[in-house]
Structure 1
Amino acid sequence: MPAVPDHRPAYHFTAPSNWINDPNGLAFHAGRYHLNYQYNPNASKWGDIHWGHASSADLVTWRDEPISLAPVPGHDAGGCFSGSYALVDGQPTIYYTGYTAERQVQCVATSPDLQRWTQQPGRTIVTPPAGVEAHDFRDPYVFRHDGRWYMVVGASLDHEHGQALLYRSDDGVTWEHRGALFTSPSDRYGRMWECPNFFPIGDRWVLTVSLWLGLGVHAFVGRFEHERFVPEWDGPLDVDAGAFAHLTMHAPDGRALQWAWMNEQRDQADIDADGWAGAMTVPRELSIDAHGRLNLRPVAEISQLRRDAVARIATERQTGTHASFSGSTLDIEARWTGRDRGKVGLNLLTSADGRETTRIVYWQDARRLSIERERSSLSHAVRRQNVHAHLALAPDEALDLRVLLDHSVLEVYANDRICLSTRVYPTLPDSVSASAFSDGPATLALQAWTMGSIFEGERRELMRGESPAVPSIPEAPLG
């Protein structure tokens, strides 16, 4: 057993080394999914932002690809910030924000094969509209609708209200400002919107926005009429910015797939010692339920990474600890029914002496789902605040949790309606035990599996323009 627990995820994407943040430029091309991401190739902290790149044939195993974008003199000299992908007249195209000390500009790059990208400095949207400062104008999301191209750009109106700006183009080259797609109705929704996504699911449209600074990610569901968004439902998608900068694409089978970035929550000295920072959530599938709410769940393909079954438990109306198992890379499905008014949940990454443990707790009376991190680590160099989300379940409604634990990464999906995402950093080598509990009588059905890695073989950074050697990741899905 190692002297110190390994905090690097096994089945959540990380770069070969150094810093990553927002997912960018999601695409499906020539039989492979492509994930670009904000990347500093020179340090494990934010800065010198390039676009890193990986690809997958199956959403399960991933292959590192050459860097897609690097800053060049001009509009993106200070960094290639976030953006999206579109196939414009057969031409793979990415729209992204170029950063300089003076302003943020929406830029364009094109490629014949998603491997070799060429920046197009003549195709930029330079000036933000009135009321929007030059540094509050970023993260273009491009989509096609009714025979035209549209671009949504995140902004802040007068530093008071988050705003999604709308642009329109007939050719994907020349863009016309069409006003605000939607503006935050109050500062409760953040004063700056980053990484706006706008896309259809069925006959409804979804707008997701990252609320700057650190307020989480919010979703709206409604209609797209006369180039304006009319919301009919809204709610948090991820809370407390545990996962941020969500980006969505449509898969070939029509599913809406989404990734998000999970930041480190520990001191820079520890990050530098490990030499890497940041991870992606697993890919998620979005849908709209019969109540018009946005739902989210891990894509079904993730179950291909399951290895050993470490728990399969069914209890009837019991109180106390229901199950005991162990692991630091786990996929857990748990359902509680017949709950009384007390608390139910899971203990994870628990040490033998109980000094370290991370608790997932649902409290029916408070209608609250929590990740309790107060005792998640003995280190004082990590964040240990509890994370909460409102979750109103009817008294006779089951609580369904899908829990993805991956060393320091923890994602908790509840009834497909909300996700709590956070980071935990235990220090004791035996902090691997897990159990389920209930304060009052409850019926539990639980299954848990250990998980494999999404990477095989040695990883290394690929420089821009370099082609990957013989793929180290198998093209076929894992059995």
Structure 2
Amino acid sequence: MNKLEKANDFILKHKEKVTNRPYYHFTPEIGWMNDPNGFSFYRGKYHLFYQYYPYDVVWNDMHWGHATTQDFIQWGYQPVALANDKIYDANGCFSGSAIEKEGKLYLMYTGHIDPNIGFDRDEAQVVERQCLAFSEDGICFEKYEHNPVIGEKELPNEYLICDFRDPKVTKVEDVYYCVLSVRNKQRRGEIILFKSSNLLDWTFHASIYQSKFEENTLLECPDLFRIGNKDVLIFSEMPCDPEFQKEVDHKTVYVVGEMDYQRGIFKAESKGLLDYGHTFYAPQSTEGKNGERLLIGWMHRWHQTAPPRDYGFNGMMSLPRRLALKDHQLIQQPVLDLNHYFHPSIVHEGTILNANERLEWTGEAGYLRLDIDPSDSKPFTVELHKSETKSTRIEVDVESGRIFMTSDYGNPGQINLEDCFAAEDENLTLEFFIDLHSVELFVNAGEKVASFAAYDRDKGSQVSILGKGQTVFRRIKWAEFKPIKARSAEHE
């Protein structure tokens, strides 16, 4: 039995042991999941691959899991797409992307070699190279016989092969381009660009983005795409070495600018955070079926408490987000059919909430929208997953335009959102997507987003809005999540 067969056989025999899944956020069939990979629209379905270890709820030899969907709620789990079964990927099939060529779906991924994996890292023995696999049907993949396609020969000497990963491929006119994460010899992160005429033969083109030495960061999981008349570069930041763990957060950044592909020059114009929470990392985008740009990320807080082992899984994906640009700012809106899966049960029109007045109802998973008149409103608090003693609290200071999120679950620290709205704004909109293990907050139709995740057992199931002074709600809407049928764990 080869590694792919072994993985799929294990999943088939043990998947029924998984419990406590979220209601509408994607999770693996069983085991560990991290970065989204190969996010693509192919043959009428969205394909989501992901870093995957089916045998345990902790990170280990990376496979590529695979699932498909048409609406991001109902998922079909597919057979494992890749396993680390070649010399060039012996210690993991690390992150990468997908692209269609002549009707076939190609995966480009990082083949990871580290003979000391699980023990102290010896950089002199770690090698990361870029590899290809392809499929006629988008389900069964064959690795390219001449892998790796980008390795020591193609990587310039000023970069370290031990940290050279996360290929994201795109096609511009008749040329394929691939952005990659790499560590330079100053031990800091850069994003570099390779090009090819056929997806098989690659040459180094340029370094398009460099972290500053004093920032002490590596730049992971780059993504480069165009929205309207601007180019957007996305990457996730992490400490470049363990000594900087306490001063460098794991976060995801976007940079808006102009990409000159021929000259290999990216001119940055503005920069921002994709998510202000602590549980959003390594996102990947794709062009949707209608030409829109969609993004999905891994909901994970570094060093957080893992789910109880008897859950049988570890890892969630964020809601998919539709991206747009507004005045050089990236706008993100959730891509879910609210009318199909979320059923309104509570609607309040023209409500005034005074100090110490409270609205409260039962709601374990659903959608909460608050439309507020900021010109005549005082601070208020939203409590989610509320029990008698615990909750996740969102403090909204309307006058200062600030939002703070804290929780008794998962020990997340405080999440801060500044400048969420201006005094002259006529309306403030807060949208909460609440699931069993997570909250995602979208402010003013996605001008700012914050995500939170915690796997604690026995969270409360109450939703509460507490006034601290007079707050004018133009509208309060609660819609409970009610799936039409249970998400299938069978292969489509």
Please report the TM-score for the alignment, with normalisation by the length of structure 2.
0.85
The corresponding residue for 1:405 is 434
Aligned to 1:418: 448
Deviation at 1:162, TM superposition (A): 2.7
- Select which of 478, 481, 485 maps to 1:448: 478
* SS state at 1:46 partner: coil
Contact 1:338 1:441 in 2 (8 A): no
Q: CA offsets per residue over residues 326-373 of structure 1, 9 Å max, x none?
A: 21111111122235685334111111x3x1111112335654322111
CA distance in 1, matches of 2:145, 2:56: 27
2:171 maps to which of 144, 159, 175: 144
Find the counterpart in structure 2 of residue 112 from structure 1.
Answer: 136
Counterparts in 2 of 1:244 and 1:435: CA distance versus 1, 3 Å: same
The one-letter code sitting in structure 2 at the alignment partner of 1:357 is S
Paired with 1:200 and 1:73, the residues of 2 have a C-alpha distance of: 35
**CA shift digits 1:86-145 (9 cap, x unpaired):** 112333101111111121111110111111101115142112333322222110000011
Letter in 2 for 1:361: E
Inter-partner Cα distance in structure 2 for 1:98 and 1:81: 6
CA gap of 1:366–1:443, structure 2 versus 1, over 3 A, is: closer
How far residue 158 of structure 1 moved from its aligned partner, in angstroms, is 3.5
Q: Distance in 2 between matches of 1:455 and 1:125?
A: 45
Answering whether residue 431 of structure 2 is matched by residue 394 of structure 1, we say no
Matched pairs, number? 445
Which runs of structure 2 are paired with 1:241-390 in the superposition (5 Å)?
241-263=278-300, 266-268=304-306, 270-289=307-326, 291-316=327-352, 318-321=354-357, 323-339=359-375, 342-351=378-387, 353=388, 355-364=389-398, 367-373=401-407, 376-377=408-409, 382-390=410-418
Is 1:84 matched up with 2:75?
A: no
How many Å separate the matches in 1 of 2:372 and 2:213? 37
Structure 1: state its 5+ residue gaps: 1-5, 461-467, 472-479
Identity of aligned residues (%): 26
Structure 2 residue corresponding to 1:200, chosen from 201, 207, 226? 226
Q: Structure 1 pair 47/366, CA: closer, same or farther in 2 (3 Å)?
A: farther
Match of 1:134 among 138, 157, 161: 161
1:365 and 1:156 map into 2 onto residues whose CA distance is 44
Contact conserved, 1:402 with 1:414, CA < 8 A, in 2? yes
Q: Which amino acid counterpart does residue 125 of structure 1 have in structure 2?
A: I
Q: C-alpha deviations, 1:300-324, integer Å up to 9, x for none?
A: 4355221352344431474444532
Higher RCO (CA 8 Å, separation ≥ 6 residues): 1
Cα distance change, pair 326–80 in 1 and its aligned pair in 2 (3 A): same
Native 8 Å contact 1:148 1:168 kept in 2: yes
**Partner residue in 2 for 1:65:** 78
Match of 1:41 in 2: 54
How far apart, CA to CA, are the structure 1 residues paired with 2:480 and 2:212? 44
Mean alpha-carbon deviation: is it higher for 397-406 or for 386-395? Answer: 386-395
Shift of 1:238: 1.5
2:126 pairs with 1:125: no
Q: 1:224 aligns with which of 236, 259, 266?
A: 259
Instruction: Name the amino acid aligned to 2:218.
Output: M
Are the equivalent residues in 1 in contact too, given 2:374–2:428 (CA < 8 A)?
Answer: no
CA distance in 2 between counterparts of 1:229 and 1:454 reads: 46
Report Cα offsets for 1:427-461 as digits up to 9, x if no partner.
556x111122343332212111111348736626x
Q: 1:316 to 1:139 in 2, by over 3 A?
A: same
Shifted more, 13-22 versus 240-249: the winner is 240-249
| Aligned partner of residue 28 in structure 2, secondary structure | coil
- Counterpart of 1:306, as a letter, is F
Give the whole-Å Cα distance in 2 for the aligned partners of 1:161 and 1:344. Answer: 43
Q: Structure 1 pair 163/319, CA: closer, same or farther in 2 (3 Å)?
A: same
TM-score (norm 1): 0.87
| Aligned partner of residue 13 in structure 1, secondary structure | coil
The two structures, once aligned, show a CA RMSD in angstroms of: 2.3
Name 2:4's counterpart in structure 1.
none
Look up the match of 2:489: 459
C-alpha spacing 1:303/1:161, structure 2 compared with 1 (3 Å) = farther
SS of 1:165's equivalent? strand
**1:387 to partner: Cα distance:** 1.9
Larger helix share, 1 or 2:
2
- Evaluate the alpha carbon distance shift between residue 347 and residue 53 of structure 1 in structure 2; reply closer, same or farther with a 3 A threshold: same
> Hey, what's the Cα distance between the residues in 2 that align with 1:346 and 1:194?
34
- Report the CA distance between 1:206 and its aligned residue: 0.7
Farther-moved stretch of structure 1 (80-89 vs 362-371)? 362-371
Is the partner of 1:75 in helix, strand or coil? Answer: helix
Structure 1 residue 61: deviation in Å?
1.3
